[in-house]
Structure 1
Amino acid sequence: MASAIEFGASPEGVQSLALKRANRHGLIAGATGTGKTVTLQMLAEAFAREGVNVFAADIKGDLSGCAGTDPTPPGWATARAAEINLPLTPEAAPVVFWDVYGELGHPVRTTVTEMGPVLMGRVLEATDAQAGALTIAFRIADDWIKEGKNEGLLLDINDLRAMLTYLSENAEDIGKQYGLVTPQSIAALQRKLLQLEMDGAERFFGEPAFKLEELLKPRPDGKGTIHVLASERLVQSPRLYSAFLLWLMSELWEELPEVGDQDKPKLVFFFDEAHLLFRDAPKELINKVEQVVRLIRSKGVGIYFVTQSPTDIPEIVLSQLGNRFQHALRAYTPTDQKAVRAAAQSFRANENVDVAKEIQELGVGEALVSTLDEKGAPTPVARTKIRPPNGHVGPILLADRQALMRANTAGRVYEKAIDRESAHEILSERATQAAEAVAREEEREARDKEAARSSRTTGTRSSGRTSAPRRTGGSRTTAVERQTGRVASGVFNTIVRELMRGILGTPRRRR
């Protein structure tokens, strides 16, 4: 195995990325159409050849080309390979396809509990008050789990909906122990859950949950596997997209053991359209990302953000990215010009490269590159012509993708969803039993009243009197009083029915 990946050539010579420093993270930036996706594909294939597993979000479908091959590569690719003297070796990489919606890849799911209140709040675009209600819901669920109660299992959207309804119905008692929960916050969260469900996100929450070991499995041939997340549809829900990828990074950080700096990473994680993660993100979330990026490298994981401009990444996170591939930027506005200056200042100087000038002159497939050398120091910036990928450039055919999915028996275990007893079923059953008890009590009281009325009628008849009975101290009811009683009973019935609907949230599941 090589100690470095040769990814292109510059006037200074062949440019490479040291595998030992690949876990120090990276950035691929540039305007639309400058070659970022091809650079991403080339790096993913190169890591896989060296036995490093890769996870990458595929925004446009082009990254599926890693799984295909072009026996006769396109003319531009062969010309570039000959120009930089890095010949192509057409081959398909080992690829596994995943998809939150289960359409263009094996389903990938997690539970509401694993997502946690912070990321769930971001998915739902919760206000501070709504985020507080979510935190209380998760805290109560955790307390129930500690007590061995399955009603604390928040596996899917129905479970979270049932828990929020429970909070609403018991707000006074909950407020005394956990804090104030307002009906307005709960109602708003319920509406947002409904919208999330209508967007198809209910497929993402549930079981069987995605296992991280899927991303780390070694291959018998020593190559790495490229795990492609089909994101063409997912990115249309940017909050869910960014929350899912951040959840995955966080899980890797929390679950993987410390390994320090190895000869090569265990996994390289490409986060395309990275600006979606940080747009309108609260400070708490940005601090979480910075913490994950700073510490996850010791777990053998490298994170590479892909975006249009370095300014899309908060400075506290950007400072952690040691390997940089800067494609062309356009400076049409003062904001663009500021981004160009910021990008230029982030590179180690090279007397032969005027970064601020050349960053606007780069052609498609060219980049200003600086990587970390074997000692961990950044190399001087170099204007580099990036080598083409060895795989197919562009999306593969749907039939080819489906054939690869059928052949992957490990991924097929996620095809069938599991719905075990959890918060929704238990809280719904409890609410049903309570409502039925109220109904039975009402029926008993009605029978008692009817029996008393019948007894009085029988006594009157047996006395043989035909004249109108004389009233005595309230032992009989007037017609008006009886009518009022029937109205009150009807109102009570309506209240009971509405209470059942409020508690259940959804129709009772048939078993």
Structure 2
Amino acid sequence: MSVGKFTEAIQKSYTTHLPAIHLGAGIYQNEIIADAKVYLPMRMMNRHGLVTGATGSGKTRTLQLLAEQLSAAGVPVFMPDMKGDLSGMAKEGVANEKIQERAKALGVEYIPAALPVEIYSLSGKLGAQMRATVTEFGPVLLTKILELNDTQAGVLNILFKYADDKNLPIVDFSDLKKVLNYLTEGPGAAEIKSDYGKISSSTASTILRKIVSLEQQGVDQLFGETSFDVDDLFEKVDGRGVISLLNVADMQSQPAVFSTFMLALLAEIYQRLPEAGDLDKPKLIFFLDEAHLLFKDAPKAFLDQIDQVIRLIRSKGVGIFFCTQLTQDVPPSVLAQLGNRVHHVIRAFTPNDVKALKETIKTFPKSEFYEMEQQFTQLGTGQAFITVLNEKGIPTETVVTHLLPPASYMGPLSEQEYSTLLNNSDFYKKYKDAVDPQSAFELLNERMQQIEAEKEEKQEEKNASSSSRTTSRKQEKSTLEEVMGSPLAKQVGRELVRGVFGMLFGSSAPRRSSRKRSSIF
């Protein structure tokens, strides 16, 4: 197979007349073919995508390359910064010898560029504080981070249903604990029994312990007001889309938390955006790095929610790209919806690795230019197998691609540069201070105080009524005693006694003649 035929095939497959991302150039027989340019049409980026590869294969720089060109085209980007090393996108790259060599091989000029960047944080320590209310987070996602079983998840659903029915905003964990206590041991226990079902104290105690455990880990910082407004992700500066970085370097020990939070953002974006149909450029591209953390030990309800969001958010003009080490990290139902794929090198060191490699190769369009299994394990850093959807929605030729170098700085900002970026950010100031609104905690406290006051009032009325009856009885008794103590009453009493005893003993008592009795007197 000639180089000319390879170049012709790639040019035909990747030709586009629409705005597109220039990913790099094809490699054939270990040679970079600069004319075999590889593009990803922006119109197809809302068909979602997958970026995979072993550690150190260049996945992060691929995401950086995608984000840069999207931003330059006016498309906002959201992406997690797992190690804190993407903040350098806010300043120009450095044109060293290796970068110049790569650019020359690809037939392009390297032009360093800085990008508009906003940095967010779930702890509030590394960027603008991202928060959500517990109500916005919802029971399904909360079940995931609390690691609840089906029974406990059912109780959590009862709490949310009750709060919705009674207009009780659950803003933070204090509200959630208050509702749980109110419906388990408080006045609400009897109230919900018929409509919602009884909550066992053992289940409530387990949920409470898990909430307290997250609080001790500092996760409660995520929940509260002011909650994050997803409209802030669609900002542009000088016509360029803002790159919103979520720095989770300080939350590496809670991977389920930050991955689930990102899904919560996606769900809210879907709820807020109107239908858009097919656009020449997406409204937003959402990267989910370390995607395997999102699906690990996920309950079915959680996976169903992911599947629904992925299926439907495309029509809102939003594209989602998953980034992970292996294709198998993503459930088949989600993989089936991903149209664009960038696969870096796979290390086949174990039998399981070999099996995973073969399964991955089967999912690619067959190529007459490569021995796929051999080529996959020989990719260098910054090289990847690529297949995307062309502007007509048809999968392109599978091609080994030498990727372009990012134009921005490949590394973290210095501590001073980082602080300057945050201090100049309007969003950092907007979300810095927490607000404590009236919510379920205060409302239920008022309700319990009112119930207690009503009980005390009823008790006082009962005591007053009892005291009145006692006084009346004492007065009646005093009057009777006065009457019974009078001489007349005593005489009547004696006559009555004599009469009664006379009746009882009259038959046996000796009769006395009236005459004799008269003589006596």
Answer whether TM exceeds 0.5 for this pair.
yes
1:207 aligned to which of 222, 225, 231: 225
Aligned equivalent of 2:306: 289
Aligned equivalent of 1:273: 290
Shift of 1:162: 0.3
Q: What letter matches 1:165 in structure 2? A: N
The CA distance in 2 between the partners of 1:239 and 1:4, in whole Å, is 34
The CA distance in 1 between the partners of 2:128 and 2:346, in whole Å, is 36
Q: What letter matches 2:174 in structure 1? A: N
1:208-238 deviation per Cα after TM superposition (whole angstroms, max 9, x unaligned)? 111111011233x211110000111234212
**Most deviating of 26-35 and 164-173:** 164-173
The CA distance in 1 between the partners of 2:232 and 2:268, in whole Å, is 13
What's the % identity of the aligned pairs?
A: 41
Shift of 1:179: 2.0
Aligned equivalent of 1:32: 55
- Alignment of 1:17 with 2:40, yes or no, is yes
The CA distance in 2 between the partners of 1:410 and 1:130, in whole Å, is 37
1:420 aligned to which of 437, 440, 445: 437
- Alignment of 1:139 with 2:161, yes or no, is yes
Counterparts of residues 432-471 of structure 1 (less than 5 Å): 432=449, 434=451
CA contact (8 A) 2:18 2:280 kept: no
Aligned equivalent of 2:479: none
Shift of 1:432: 4.5
1:331-380 deviation per Cα after TM superposition (whole angstroms, max 9, x unaligned)? 12222112111221121121111222111111111100111111111111
Question: TM-score w.r.t. structure 2 length?
Answer: 0.81
Counterparts of residues 49-448 of structure 1 (less than 5 Å): 49-70=72-93, 72-145=94-167, 152-169=168-185, 170-219=188-237, 221-432=238-449, 434=451
Structure 2 residues without counterparts, runs of 5 or longer: 1-16, 28-32, 471-521
- SS of the equivalent of 2:119 reads strand
Aligned equivalent of 1:470: none
Q: What letter matches 1:381 in structure 2? A: T
- SS of the equivalent of 2:208 reads helix
1:6-25 deviation per Cα after TM superposition (whole angstroms, max 9, x unaligned)? 11111361111101111111
CA contact (8 A) 1:104 1:230 kept: yes
CA contact (8 A) 1:156 1:206 kept: yes
CA contact (8 A) 1:8 1:86 kept: no
The CA distance in 2 between the partners of 1:119 and 1:435, in whole Å, is 36
Aligned equivalent of 2:507: none
Q: What letter matches 1:171 in structure 2? A: A
Q: What letter matches 1:393 in structure 2? A: M
The CA distance in 2 between the partners of 1:437 and 1:251, in whole Å, is 42
Shift of 1:435: 5.2
The CA distance in 1 between the partners of 2:421 and 2:442, in whole Å, is 37
Question: TM-score w.r.t. structure 1 length?
Answer: 0.83
1:103-158 deviation per Cα after TM superposition (whole angstroms, max 9, x unaligned)? 1110111100011111111111111111111000000000012xxxxxx1101110
Q: What letter matches 2:133 in structure 1? A: T
The CA distance in 2 between the partners of 1:38 and 1:56, in whole Å, is 12
CA contact (8 A) 1:42 1:389 kept: yes
The CA distance in 2 between the partners of 1:27 and 1:209, in whole Å, is 30
The CA distance in 2 between the partners of 1:228 and 1:140, in whole Å, is 36
CA contact (8 A) 1:80 1:387 kept: yes
The CA distance in 1 between the partners of 2:193 and 2:360, in whole Å, is 50
**Most deviating of 59-68 and 308-317:** 59-68
The CA distance in 2 between the partners of 1:388 and 1:240, in whole Å, is 32
The CA distance in 2 between the partners of 1:32 and 1:343, in whole Å, is 17
Aligned equivalent of 1:468: none
Shift of 1:247: 0.6
User: Rg larger in 1 or in 2?
Assistant: 2
**Most deviating of 268-277 and 77-86:** 77-86
The CA distance in 2 between the partners of 1:439 and 1:201, in whole Å, is 40
CA contact (8 A) 1:347 1:380 kept: no
The CA distance in 1 between the partners of 2:449 and 2:19, in whole Å, is 64
Q: What letter matches 1:214 in structure 2? A: D
The CA distance in 2 between the partners of 1:321 and 1:254, in whole Å, is 21
Q: 1:164 to 1:290 in 2, by over 3 A?
A: same
**Most deviating of 335-344 and 320-329:** 335-344
Spell out structure 1 runs of 4+ moving beyond 6 A.
436-449
Q: What letter matches 1:94 in structure 2? A: P
1:71-119 deviation per Cα after TM superposition (whole angstroms, max 9, x unaligned)? x423322221122122221111000011111111101111000111111
Q: Paired residues, what number?
A: 444
Shift of 1:428: 2.5
